[in-house]
Amino acid sequence: MRGEGVLRRQQTWPVKIDSQLTAVRAAQGDSPVERQLLAADFRGPPAPTSTPGVNTTKRLALANGWVVFHKPFSGVHVANALAYGQTAETPPLHEAAAWRLAAALGPPWRELLSPCVLREYDGEDGALSLQAQGWPGDPAPTQNPTWCLPAAFLDSLIAQQDRHSGNWRWDGDRLSLIDHGYAFGLPGDILNHTDLVKARHSHRAAGLLPEERDALERLSADADLLGIADILLDERAQALLERAKRMLARGEILGPGEF
């Protein structure tokens, strides 16, 4: 069955995601921070990024003083995306989908992610995310249950394929998760890093907390997956639902790479 899924994606590449983009745009803008991300004017040219990834990322300033990062659909490194089992279209979409899911689940997960919307910059459509505070490369969150537990839960639920210390920011008190282009993986897709999930399991803290069980029950009981079903491609929405059900059945988060 997994092989059939790979073949289907190869046969239909490039993937049409017009309906998913429409669903994101219909949902975004329901909070003050999203409205600012959508409406504030850009000021000045792009600035250099301190830790550029393989996909094109532009560091920009908004008129309200915020620093944001724009990842255009046209800037996806196609070979890298295909290696993850993704397509050239999905990484910016998944950036927005991860935020929409975290926002729908509510605290503490909403506070873990930088708000993200789909917006054009310089004629290119893409994901626009608010800059996260803190610095990369600090392993401290893996030893801090206040942040490690909810972050690992979310990474397990969204099948994050590449969570390492370069893909989070830590300011000494607060953890912010960034870079969700390679999330919503499918069974059999590669896992590059999942440092927070590994840490939670290594601390023997994989068991679901009451608020996590409640979140999974709300997600799995909703036919629209809290608004995410229309944002993801069908097979990825189904995989999200199956992960939620498996976590509920086991009473713990899934293991590394168990998509």
pLDDT at 89 over 80: yes
List beta partners, residue 117: 128
Length in residues, the chain:
259
* Section 104-116 average pLDDT: 97
Distances (CA, A) of 61 to 58, 114, 178, 232: 10, 16, 18, 29
**Cα angle, residue 226 at apex, residues 220 and 230 outer, rounded to 5°:** 105
Q: Which of residues 8 and 14 earns the better pLDDT score?
A: 14
Four-residue CA torsion sign, 59, 81, 37, 148: negative
> Above 80 in pLDDT, residue 24?
yes
For range 222-235, the mean pLDDT: 98
What the block records as the tokens of 89 is: 């279209």
φ/ψ region of 117 (left if φ > 0, alpha if ψ in -120 to 50, else beta) reads beta
Please indicate, yes or no, whether the overall pTM of this predicted structure exceeds 0.85: yes
Beta strand pairing call for 168-170 and 175-177? antiparallel
Q: What pLDDT was estimated at residue 52? A: 63
Confidence check: pLDDT of 193 > 50 = yes
Long-range contacts of 209-213 (CB under 8 A, 24+ apart): 209/149, 209/153, 211/108, 212/150, 212/153, 212/247, 212/253, 213/248, 213/251
What pLDDT sits at residue 51?
66
